[in-house]
Amino acid sequence: MSGANDPYDPKQVAALSAEAHLASQAAQDKQDAPLIDKGRKLLASNECARCHRFYDAGKAGAAPDLTGYGSVSYTHLTLPTNYPV
């Protein structure tokens, strides 16, 4: 199974995972470059960008902007700010 309805679609996972640009994952990202490229095209397509923003594709709406997914700045933006610490 693959495509938008499969949350484990390898190209989707590889592209989202690469968005954090983790140093510890650089070798894996380099090896997965063709898969990541396909995943980025999927993220920028209507399958995702009709709800999400991804770089220049789509526009911000109810769904989170997936640019930089998993990075420190992304995580800062998406963490709830109202939980007790």
SS3 25: helix
Residue from the set 11, 40, 52, 53 that interacts with ligand HEC by CB under 6 A: 52
Does 36 bind ligand HEC (CB under 6 A)? Our answer is no
- Least CB distance to ligand HEC at residue 24 (A): 20
- Tokens coding 52: 């999400």
Region of 17-25, 26-34, 42-50 interacting with ligand HEC (CB under 6 A):
42-50
- Amino acid (1-letter code) at residue 5: N
Should residue 1 be labelled a site residue for ligand HEC when binding is judged by CB under 6 A? no
Scanning 1-85, the segments in alpha helix (DSSP H) are 10-18, 26-31, 33-44, 46-49, 72-78
